[in-house]
């Protein structure tokens, strides 16, 4: 563990910005009457996408520090996470106009990103709630709040027809599974619905299932410059994403499209 700590310290420019989890166990061997005969260790590090070129170097250094562990596993991902400031999303398709564009945050805006799909049953109620929140708070939020649907459907026309039939037109709709955009990968989407909440500085303050929080209250707090806490607001918080609501759609046919 000390050797791993030294690696993290030497790579502070990387590890200081990412999330780190270290866990392991010792197995007591009765016949050998000793506790260190077999041990395991798992090290998980998440870097932001713009640090992906440093992934191999960091992985090599961590594995070297774990050389004396019989069963060591090192997992390094490069996803946007809690505390990261979002960057421009390139090559996203604007659904209503069916054109390629970019998506970015402007200082002063609170933005809720909702990764979803028309074929996903658990996604429908949260998207309807997005529309309801925007209608209810139109005068209060005005242009300071944006709720954005990032669809992982197989085509944009299906999304357009669906949202028009449902009347979910106050939500901004984009299609990210167009073969060029990498937003779902960059944000570590493994199942939908999957929400990402940005504060007025574009910093990610929540990741997870929309039913795990009262998002309307969260948005109001962020507009006032306040911070939010609780489920999904700390590194690794997305593990609680299905708490209090339907599980993300990751089974059956949906799994092929969502993962």
Give the C-alpha separation, 244 to 242, whole Å. Answer: 6
Contact 228, 207 (CB under 8 A): no
Give just the sign of the alpha carbon dihedral 202, 55, 101, 120. negative
User: How far is it, in rounded angstroms, from Cα 130 to Cα 132?
Assistant: 5
Q: Are residues 162 and 111 in the same domain?
A: yes
Please name which of 155, 198, 149 lies closest in space to residue 174, comparing C-alpha atoms: 149
- How many other C-beta atoms lie within 10 A of the C-beta of residue 167? 10
Does residue 84 lie in a domain region?
Answer: no
CATH number at residue 22: 3.30.300
Q: Domain range for residue 142?
A: 89-258
Task: Phi first, then psi: give them for residue 222, nearest 5 degrees.
Answer: -65, -35
pLDDT tens string, the chain, 259 residues long: the values are 678 778 878 877 766 555 556 666 555 545 555 444 457 888 888 888 888 888 899 999 989 988 888 788 898 888 999 999 999 999 999 999 999 999 999 999 999 999 999 999 999 999 999 999 999 999 999 999 999 999 999 999 999 999 999 999 999 999 999 999 999 999 999 999 999 999 999 999 999 999 999 999 999 999 999 999 999 998 754 444 333 445 555 433 333 334 3
**Packing angle between helix 121-136 and helix 156-166, nearest 10 degrees?**
60
In this structure, are 40 and 102 located in the same domain? no
Q: Is residue 83 part of a domain?
A: no
Q: Are residues 135 and 191 in the same domain?
A: yes
10 Å Cβ neighbour count for 152?
25
Helix (H, G, I), strand (E, B) or coil at 27: strand
In a domain, 14, yes or no: yes
If asked whether residues 246 and 146 sit together in one domain, one would say yes
Query: Based on the domain organization, do 58 and 173 belong to the same domain?
Result: no
* Residue where one domain finishes, among candidates 51, 78, 105: 78
Residues 71, 120 share a domain: no
Q: Give the domain-ending residue among 19, 54, 78.
A: 78
- Is 45 in the same domain as 116? no
Look at residues 78, 110, 143 and tell me which one is the last residue of a structural domain. 78
The number of folded domains in the chain is 2
Tell which residue, 7, 4, 9, 74, has the closest CA to residue 46: 74
Residues in contact with 221: Cβ distance below 8 Å, sequence separation at least 6, in sequence order: 227, 228
How many CA atoms, within 13 angstroms, populate the side-chain half-sphere of residue 159? 28
| CB within 8 Å of 2: residues ≥ 6 apart | none
Do 173 and 214 have their domain in common?
A: yes
Residues 52 and 93 in one domain: no
- The answer to whether the CB of 188 falls within 8 A of the CB of 132 is no
- Please indicate, yes or no, whether residues 134 and 210 belong to a single structural domain of this protein: yes
Regarding whether 13 and 127 lie in a shared domain, the answer is no
Considering the domain architecture, whether residues 56 and 106 belong to the same structural domain is answered as: no
- Nearest-5° Cα angle at 125, 121 to 127: 100
Q: What is the domain-level CATH number for residue 148?
A: 3.40.30.10
């Amino acid at each position: 563990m000390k050797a791993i700590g030294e690696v993290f310290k030497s790579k502070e420019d990387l590890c200081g910005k990412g999330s780190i989890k270290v866990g392991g166990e010792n197995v007591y061997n009765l016949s050998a009457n000793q506790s260190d005969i077999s041990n395991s260790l798992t090290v998980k590090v998440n870097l932001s996408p713009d640090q992906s070129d440093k992934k191999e170097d960091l992985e090599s250094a961590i594995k070297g520090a774990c050389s004396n562990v019989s069963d060591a596993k090192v997992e390094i991902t490069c996803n946007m996470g809690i505390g990261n400031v979002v960057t421009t999303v390139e090559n996203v398709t604007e659904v209503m106009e069916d054109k390629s564009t970019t998506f970015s945050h402007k200082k002063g805006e609170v933005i809720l990103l909702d990764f979803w799909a028309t074929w996903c049953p658990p996604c429908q109620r949260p998207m309807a709630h997005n529309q309801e929140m925007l209608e209810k708070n139109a005068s209060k939020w005005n242009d300071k709040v944006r709720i954005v649907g990032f669809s992982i459907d197989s085509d944009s026309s299906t999304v357009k027809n669906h949202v028009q039939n449902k009347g979910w037109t106050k939500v901004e709709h984009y299609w990210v599974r167009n073969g060029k955009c990498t937003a779902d990968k960059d944000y570590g989407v493994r199942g939908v619905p999957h929400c990402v909440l940005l504060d007025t500085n574009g910093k990610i303050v929540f990741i997870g299932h929309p039913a795990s929080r009262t998002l309307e209250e969260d948005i109001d707090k962020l507009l006032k410059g306040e911070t939010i806490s609780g489920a999904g607001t700390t590194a690794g918080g997305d593990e609680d994403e299905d708490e209090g609501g339907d599980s993300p759609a990751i089974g059956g046919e949906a799994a092929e499209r969502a993962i």
